[in-house]
């Protein structure tokens, strides 16, 4: 059995190979900071939230008798420690949770302090961004047995989430000096439920998209979401009982969105003036369709018909010109190589094929002991009974191989796929990359294939000179990399696990070529 520990010795004939990447580090693309500072529990907005405790017999009279509550919405702000730059782009991260508190939602996750959100925020801050993990308003009648109520409430919850994300953007712009943020460069990203919000924020910009779409009309053809009542998608207007109108003097617009999980409520929202978008999604996601299909939630119900996931949204964005600026750049990093192979050469799309097909969120992990011993969930400041053991069991049903090591590998893929595209869209780096040249492939020999102990790489001199190589697994992780001054390499791969990998060779002239290999 091959060991999982990847301490690999290289046997190189006439070659000097290094296990460290000696290329210059680029801020916003590479990790350039080693530590991160965190400012926790920052109130970015106060607004009105639907109250799931209403008429529940809850001992607090305010919680029991008020259909809506006034609540503070908070965020945690992650910044690169010791950074002297005072104009840094901000990335807002919206968590999963189905608009119900973690544990009460029958899942082990669902807050801005989830391990996956904290890890992604930390990784982004190490690249030089200011990462903002933000909570948004919770609450909807998730236990209803009436389809129309479920659909209406979930649409309203997502709509409030759009308003909250925009109010978080406003807060960051108003306090840009305090947190060292460039107010002209703000991105919104979302995981699962947060992905629905991010995709809607990047596309909804007309009242008819909300009030005239037949999917979002009641049986009497009245709109489920009334802009006059709830305010518009920018968080402005509406009745104060339902929405505390935002500051009209500060823009709540973002520059770009991305999602890992989640879907777009209706693909017709995607238009040529939508925000640039990058999508990462498990193809077999149980709850959100990768292509077009029904949205389901962990509590079991089907709530939104005919939503569209990354497999539809990203090709549409590319074809409409939404992603033209990103698509004009050349990416030949290992993450792009894997994504292009998995997506059939669709740019900005990373389909995920996890070890367990039902695992729609392989980037999640949690402390099983803590979750199993949790018997309370927090709805804002109100504790309510919850079954941590059941939440852990249900979460493990779709994520049976959950571990920090596995989750962090997927998060590594997310951050290194998204960050260069953000850098291009926001003009943060002079990112040209290297060019994949398929003509070189006929001059490159990689053998044996499958390999067991030693992998031989040979490039005909007529094709050029090898500058560096990388061996990448199917999640996009670099397992081996080195520099070379020869066109013949012998690489010890005996400690790699059995499976499929990619070998990427970069030449001195900037061209590159990638080959697929098997390790047995």
Q: Which residues contact 167 (CB under 8 A, 6 or more apart)?
A: 44, 45, 47, 73, 235, 246, 252
pLDDT of residue 184: 98
Q: Across all residues in the chain, what is the average pLDDT? A: 91
Do the Cβ atoms of 294 and 474 come closer than 8 Å?
Answer: no
- Tokens 């590319």 map to which residue? 318
Report helix angle 404-425 to 334-343, nearest 10: 90
Torsional class of 378: left (φ above 0), alpha (ψ -120 to 50), beta (otherwise): beta
Do the Cβ atoms of 64 and 57 come closer than 8 Å?
Answer: yes
Backbone angles phi, psi at 182, to 5 degrees: -80, 110
Do the Cβ atoms of 262 and 95 come closer than 8 Å?
Answer: no
Q: Which residues contact 146 (CB under 8 A, 6 or more apart)?
A: none
Q: How far is CA 37 from the centre of its chain?
A: 21
Q: Is the pLDDT of residue 191 over 90?
A: yes
Q: Per-residue pLDDT tens for 72-88?
A: 999 999 999 999 999 99
Helices (H) and strands (E) in the chain, counts: 13, 20
> Residues 80, 22, 31, CA angle at the centre, nearest 5°?
15
Q: Which residues contact 420 (CB under 8 A, 6 or more apart)?
A: 29, 329, 331, 333, 429, 431
Rounded Cα distance between 276 and 384, Å, is: 40
> Cα-atom radius of gyration of the chain, to the nearest Å?
24
pLDDT of residue 5: 30
* Percent of the chain predicted with pLDDT > 70: 93
Q: Which residues contact 19 (CB under 8 A, 6 or more apart)?
A: 8, 10, 480, 481, 482
Q: Per-residue pLDDT tens for 153-188?
A: 999 999 999 999 999 999 999 999 999 999 999 999
Identify the burial level of 372 via C-beta atoms within 10 angstroms of its C-beta, where 0-12 means exposed, 13-18 middle and 19 or more buried: middle
CA distances from 448 to 86, 179, 460, 469 (A): 52, 53, 17, 17
**Residue 119: both structure tokens together:** 């890890």
pLDDT of residue 520: 87
Q: Per-residue pLDDT tens for 353-396?
A: 998 999 999 999 999 999 999 999 999 999 999 999 999 999 99
* Percent of the chain predicted with pLDDT > 90: 77
**Residue 416: both structure tokens together:** 């290194």
Hey, what domains does the chain have and what are their CATH numbers? 36-425 (no CATH), 435-519 (2.60.40.1930)
Do the Cβ atoms of 252 and 166 come closer than 8 Å?
Answer: yes
Q: How confident is the model at residue 19 (pLDDT cuts 50, 70, 90)?
A: very low
pLDDT of residue 512: 80
Q: Is the pLDDT of residue 308 over 50?
A: yes
Q: What is the mean pLDDT of residues 217-239?
A: 97
Task: Return the bridge partners of 78, or none.
Answer: 38, 131
Q: What is the mean pLDDT of residues 10-39?
A: 63
Q: What is the mean pLDDT of residues 135-163?
A: 95
Q: Is the pLDDT of residue 18 over 60?
A: no
Rounded Cα distance between 309 and 302, Å, is: 15
Beta carbons within 10 angstroms of residue 290's beta carbon: 22
Rounded Cα distance between 223 and 241, Å, is: 19
pLDDT of residue 477: 75
Torsional class of 110: left (φ above 0), alpha (ψ -120 to 50), beta (otherwise): left
Do the Cβ atoms of 134 and 75 come closer than 8 Å?
Answer: yes
Q: How confident is the model at residue 437 (pLDDT cuts 50, 70, 90)?
A: low
Report the length, in residues, of the chain: 520
Q: Per-residue pLDDT tens for 245-282?
A: 999 999 999 999 999 999 999 999 999 999 999 999 99
Burial 218-238 (b: 16+ CB within 10 A, else e): eeeeebbbbbeebbbbbbbbb
Q: Per-residue pLDDT tens for 448-479?
A: 999 999 999 999 988 889 988 989 887 667 88
Question: Mapping DSSP to helix (H, G, I), strand (E, B) and coil, where does residue 235 land?
Answer: coil
Q: Which residues contact 143 (CB under 8 A, 6 or more apart)?
A: 299
**Pairing label, strands 181-191, 256-260:** parallel
Q: What is the mean pLDDT of residues 403-423?
A: 97
């Amino acid at each position: 059995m091959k060991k999982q520990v990847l301490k690999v010795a290289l046997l190189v004939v006439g070659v000097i190979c290094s296990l460290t990447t000696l290329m210059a580090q680029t801020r916003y693309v590479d990790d350039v900071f080693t530590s991160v500072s965190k400012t926790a529990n920052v109130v970015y907005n106060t607004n009105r939230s639907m109250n799931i405790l209403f008429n529940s017999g809850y001992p607090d009279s305010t919680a029991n008798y008020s259909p809506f509550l006034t609540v503070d919405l908070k965020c945690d702000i992650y910044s690169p420690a010791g950074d002297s730059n005072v104009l840094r782009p901000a990335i807002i991260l919206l968590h999963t949770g189905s608009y119900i508190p973690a544990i009460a939602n029958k899942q082990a996750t669902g807050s801005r302090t989830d391990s996956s959100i904290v890890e992604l925020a930390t990784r982004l801050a190490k690249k030089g961004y200011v990462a903002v993990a933000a909570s948004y308003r919770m609450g909807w009648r998730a236990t209803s047995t009436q389809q129309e109520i479920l659909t209406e409430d979930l649409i309203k919850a997502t709509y409030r989430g759009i308003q909250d994300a925009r109010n978080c953007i406003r807060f960051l712009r108003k306090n840009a000096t305090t947190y060292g943020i460039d107010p002209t460069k703000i991105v919104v990203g979302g995981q699962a439920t947060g992905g629905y919000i991010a995709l809607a924020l990047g596309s909804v910009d007309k009242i008819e998209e909300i009030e005239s779409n037949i999917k979002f009309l009641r049986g009497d053809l009245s709109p489920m979401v009334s802009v006059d009542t709830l305010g518009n998608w920018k968080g402005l207007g509406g009745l104060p009982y339902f929405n505390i109108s935002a500051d009209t003097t500060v823009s709540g617009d973002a520059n770009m969105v991305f999602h890992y999980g989640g879907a777009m409520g209706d693909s017709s929202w995607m238009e040529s003036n939508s925000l640039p978008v990058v999508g990462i999604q498990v193809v077999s996601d149980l709850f959100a369709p990768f292509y077009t299909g029904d949205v389901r939630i962990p509590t079991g119900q089907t709530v939104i018909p005919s939503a569209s996931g990354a497999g539809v949204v990203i090709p549409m964005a590319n074809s409409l010109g939404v992603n033209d600026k990103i698509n004009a750049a050349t990416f030949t990093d290992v993450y792009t190589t894997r994504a292009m192979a998995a997506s059939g050469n669709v740019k900005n799309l990373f389909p995920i094929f996890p070890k367990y097909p039902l695992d729609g969120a392989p980037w999640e992990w949690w402390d099983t002991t803590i979750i199993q011993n949790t018997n309370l969930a927090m709805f804002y400041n109100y504790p309510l009974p919850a079954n941590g053991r059941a939440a852990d069991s249900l979460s493990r049903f779709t994520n049976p191989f959950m571990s920090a090591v596995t989750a962090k590998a997927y998060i590594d893929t997310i951050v290194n796929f998204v960050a260069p595209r953000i850098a291009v869209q926001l003009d943060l780096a002079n990112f040209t990359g290297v060019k994949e040249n398929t003509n070189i492939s006929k001059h490159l020999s990689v053998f044996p294939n499958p390999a067991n102990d030693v992998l031989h790489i040979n490039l005909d001199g007529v094709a050029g000179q090898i500058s560096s190589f990388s061996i990448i697994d199917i999640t996009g992780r670099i397992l081996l990399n080195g520099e070379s001054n020869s066109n013949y390499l012998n690489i010890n791969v005996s400690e790699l696990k059995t499976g499929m990998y990619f070998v990427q060779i970069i030449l001195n002239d900037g061209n590159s070529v990638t080959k697929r290999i098997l390790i047995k």
